[in-house]
């Protein structure tokens, strides 16, 4: 694995040392940016691996090509939105480039925090190349009120990862068929997920459990949100904008989410990503649902560097399969690159994100697993290097593309961050023992209060825009 990582890294620098191809978006950006040599830019990112990924794969090379230094600053994901707002209202110009989650974009545009990019795209011929960004990200994560404010830059979508060796074991297959009456296979629904999780837990615990899932505040809502909508739930009454999250469907969904913990390792009710991921790599569970980085790290790809020392050595390489639970997974949360409206160097900032987001350069970033920038372009899914990073990588890439094409968007409103925070707190309360009906009743009251603060009419327009994407709810509901 170490040799593979070094090969990938060498290939990255070999290609990026000769990035200039006449007419490509990256070459256009580099040539135009040279007039700003000596300028310094600051990019604001999610703290941790996002910072490392940009530092090692992007900012140093940009400085060599253009003479423009890019400083990196970061914050935990749940603090990013408020920091962008505070910096904008303070007019400090501290950020030139900001990494934004798509559900925040409407709020940031409405307060004037993001610079529209259309004129820059015209000037520097980016329209054609950005069409390679997969339509399911390009159409949903870049525009607001008809104008482009960001470039989709991270293909987040939740996949099922399952242990092929356990699912294909003849004794497991026979015992499961006898108990449940259908063949043991990757679950097509969450009801099947729960049955399969119970089967493996009953059969193997405490050596192995059926599943492991993230249960930390700020992340659990992505999983609840998908399951709630697949059952037919709606977030709001579109006429009154009263919250309907506490409907019977909501309560049933939350109760199922709480009950699912019984088929997970002890303590999973409070686990975050690291704990859940460690159990998965350690071979302690049969299934998990998680983000694309899990697919590569489970194979040990890109984990042999000091910055990845927190990841345990995988015990399940070559044993993992990929699928979609429920046909329509969550596209959550994702990131898009934008230019701050208070930047003192807007054009230079734009040229940097055009270069970083271009087909050539973005491919090199997604090829490095520690960058946690997941494939988001059609050309990424077809990349020979990505498709050959491990024996099963081609199926992984195909599943990523299928999941994005069928994916549902995160709830997107005005003041989305506040709704998300309340959402996470309510789910955590139920996981901690509060009655699910009570937890969701409290959430509905808080959402109704937030809606009144924003303004019912304004929020109705935002909600209607979300629904009109065609990706708010499963098709036909």
Tell me the torsion sign for CA atoms 340, 343, 346, 350. negative
Q: CA-CA distance, 464 to 414, in Å (whole number)?
A: 12
Bridge partners (DSSP) of residue 290 are 159
Q: CA-CA distance, 50 to 99, in Å (whole number)?
A: 10
Closest CA to 163 of 184, 188, 194: 184
Residue with tokens 């979508």: 157
User: Domains in the chain, please, with CATH?
Assistant: 2-156+332-408 (3.40.190.10), 159-331 (3.40.190.10)
The backbone torsions φ and ψ at residue 260, rounded to the nearest 5 degrees and listed phi first, read: -60, -25
Distances from the Cα of 183 to the Cαs of 33, 166, 473, in angstroms?
Answer: 58, 13, 29
CB atoms within 10 A of CB 411: 20
- Angle 410-189-405 (CA atoms, 0-180°, nearest 5)? 45
Per-residue pLDDT of the chain in tens (477 residues, 90 and over written 9)? 444 444 444 444 444 433 333 369 999 999 999 999 999 999 999 998 889 889 888 999 999 999 999 999 999 988 999 999 999 999 999 999 999 999 999 999 999 999 999 999 999 999 999 999 999 999 999 999 999 999 999 999 999 999 999 999 999 999 999 999 999 999 999 999 999 999 999 999 999 999 999 998 889 999 999 999 999 999 999 999 999 999 999 999 999 999 999 999 999 999 988 899 899 999 999 999 999 999 999 999 978 777 777 778 899 999 999 999 999 999 988 999 999 999 999 999 999 999 999 999 999 999 887 778 999 999 999 999 999 999 999 999 999 999 999 999 999 999 999 999 999 999 999 999 999 999 999 999 999 999 999 999 999 999 999 999 999 999 987
* Burial of 448 (C-beta count, 10 Å sphere; 0-12/13-18/19+): middle
CB atoms within 10 A of CB 131: 12
pTM: 0.92
Tokens of 434: 């509060």
The backbone torsions φ and ψ at residue 75, rounded to the nearest 5 degrees and listed phi first, read: -155, 155
């Amino acid at each position: 694995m170490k040799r593979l990582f070094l090969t990938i890294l060498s290939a990255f620098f070999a290609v990026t040392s000769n990035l200039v191809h006449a007419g490509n978006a990256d070459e256009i950006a580099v040539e135009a940016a040279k007039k700003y040599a000596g300028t310094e830019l600051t990019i604001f990112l999610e703290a941790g691996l996002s910072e490392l990924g940009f530092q090692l794969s992007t900012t140093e090379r940009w400085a060599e090509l253009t003479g423009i230094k890019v400083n990196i600053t970061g914050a935990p994901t749940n603090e990013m939105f408020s920091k962008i707002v505070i910096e904008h209202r303070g007019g400090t110009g501290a950020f030139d480039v900001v990494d934004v989650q798509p559900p925040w974009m409407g709020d940031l545009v409405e307060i004037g925090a993001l610079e529209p990019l259309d004129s820059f795209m015209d000037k520097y011929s980016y329209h054609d190349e950005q069409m390679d960004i997969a339509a399911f990200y390009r159409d949903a994560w870049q525009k607001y009120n008809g104008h482009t404010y960001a470039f989709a830059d991270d293909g987040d979508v939740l996949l099922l990862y399952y242990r092929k060796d356990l699912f294909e074991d003849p004794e497991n297959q026979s015992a499961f068929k006898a108990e449940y009456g259908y063949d043991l296979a990757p679950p097509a629904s969450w009801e099947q997920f729960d049955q399969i999780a119970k089967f493996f837990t009953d059969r193997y615990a405490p050596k192995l459990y059926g599943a492991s899932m993230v249960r930390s505040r700020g992340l659990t809502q992505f999983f609840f949100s998908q399951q709630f909508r697949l059952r037919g739930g709606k977030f709001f009454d579109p006429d009154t904008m009263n919250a309907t999250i506490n409907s019977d469907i909501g309560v049933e969904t939350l109760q199922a989410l709480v009950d699912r913990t019984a088929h997970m390792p002890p303590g999973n009710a409070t686990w975050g990503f690291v704990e859940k991921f460690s159990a998965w790599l350690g071979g302690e569970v049969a299934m998990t649902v998680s983000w694309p980085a899990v697919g590569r790290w489970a194979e040990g790809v890109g984990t042999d560097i000091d910055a990845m020392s927190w990841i345990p050595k995988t015990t399940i390489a070559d044993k993992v399969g990929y699928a979609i639970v429920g046909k329509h997974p969550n596209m959550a949360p994702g990131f898009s690159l934008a230019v701050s409206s208070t930047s003192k160097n807007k054009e230079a900032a734009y040229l940097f994100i055009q270069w970083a987001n271009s087909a050539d350069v973005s491919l090199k970033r997604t090829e490095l697993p520690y960058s946690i920038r997941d494939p988001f372009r059609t050309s990424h899914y077809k990349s020979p290097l990505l498709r050959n990073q491990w024996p099963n990588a081609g199926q992984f890439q195909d599943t990523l593309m299928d999941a994005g094409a069928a994916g549902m968007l995160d709830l997107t409103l005005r003041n989305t961050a506040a709704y998300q925070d309340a959402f996470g707190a309510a789910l955590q309360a139920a996981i901690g023992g509060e009655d699910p009906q009570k937890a969701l009743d409290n959430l509905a009251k808080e959402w109704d209060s937030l809606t009144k603060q924003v303004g019912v009419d304004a929020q109705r327009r935002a909600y209607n825009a979300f629904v009109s994407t065609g990706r708010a709810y499963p098709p036909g509901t």
